[in-house]
Every structure is written in C-alpha cells, then in structure tokens.
C-alpha cells in the first residue's frame, strides 16, 4: 500500500468522524435549544451554560482546530436558532413563520460565532490532557516504508 492511498484512507476516516460529530452536534443543539426555551428560567445564565459546556466538550473531542470551529459553529447556530424558534409564543401564521425564520438568522449567526469560539477553546484545553494520557500523535507516513 502506498503512502498516498493510506493517507487518503485516513482523510476519509477523518471526514466520517467529523460528519458523525456534526450530526451529534445538530441533535444535541436541537434538544438543548428547545429544552432551554421551554423549561429553563428565561433571562438567566442557566439558559446558556449548558450550551457553552456542550460546545467545549464538542471542541475537546476534535483533534484539530478547523473541524472544532466547524462543529462548534454549527452547534451554536442550531442551538440559538432552535431556542429562538421554540421561545416564540405568537400564534403561527404563514407570514409570521416567514418573518420569524428571517429575523432569527442574525442572532443565530452570533450563536455560530460563540459556538465556534467555545469549541476552539475546548480543543485547546484538551491538548495537554491528550499529551498526559499518552495518546499517540497521528501517523503521517506508512511505517512499513521507513
């Protein structure tokens, strides 16, 4: 097996792992957003603390910064969007749903930025822990060819 084929196989595994974590992030964000809107007291930090912890943990589960930013950003956007959607108590109508969908995109974009930042910090915080646990570094070449 050549070096290029083994590195492309690892790249595919990495993409698959990122897609799995993206799926987990979306489901977790939907659940946390709706639960926060319906059952947590509004106007307190209790609404955002679970979101921040989840974003930190998602970032800590990633080995590189770019995927952590992506997964954390998607998590933050979906959490903020689902929270704002579930928090709206107005009677639904076609025009109201369209207005709501367009209006909450900007705050959800801020959620994207916050989720990305929290996941990046989580990824940075996990680096020393991984080193202490002796987790091996990713292999960059096929050891049989050395």
Q: Domain ranges in the chain?
A: 3-134
Pairwise CA distance, residues 11 & 80, whole Å: 31
Residue 6 is predicted with a pLDDT of 45
Cα atoms in the Cβ-side hemisphere of radius 13 Å centred on 69: 4
pTM of the model: 0.78
Sign of CA dihedral 107, 112, 115, 121: negative
Pairwise CA distance, residues 33 & 85, whole Å: 9
Q: Is the pLDDT of residue 8 over 50?
A: no
Q: Which residue has the higher pLDDT, 27 or 90?
A: 27
DSSP SS3 for 137: coil
pLDDT 10s digits, 23-32: 999 999 999 9
DSSP SS3 for 47: helix
Q: Which residue has the higher pLDDT, 127 or 32?
A: 32
Tokens describing residue 105: 């995109």
Pairwise CA distance, residues 132 & 126, whole Å: 10
């Amino acid at each position: 097996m050549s070096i290029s084929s083994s590195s492309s196989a690892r790249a595919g595994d990495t993409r698959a792992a990122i897609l799995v974590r993206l799926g987990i992030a979306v489901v977790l964000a939907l659940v946390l957003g709706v639960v926060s809107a319906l059952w947590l007291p509004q106007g307190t930090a209790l609404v955002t603390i679970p979101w921040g912890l989840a974003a930190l943990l998602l970032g800590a589960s990633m080995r590189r910064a770019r995927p952590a930013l992506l997964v954390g950003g998607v998590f933050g956007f979906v959490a903020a969007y689902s929270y704002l959607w579930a928090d709206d108590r107005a009677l639904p109508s076609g025009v109201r749903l369209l207005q709501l969908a367009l209006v909450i995109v900007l705050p959800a974009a801020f959620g994207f930025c916050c989720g990305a930042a929290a996941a990046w910090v989580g990824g940075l915080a996990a680096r020393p822990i991984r080193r202490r646990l002796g987790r091996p570094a990713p292999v960059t070449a096929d050891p049989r060819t050395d």
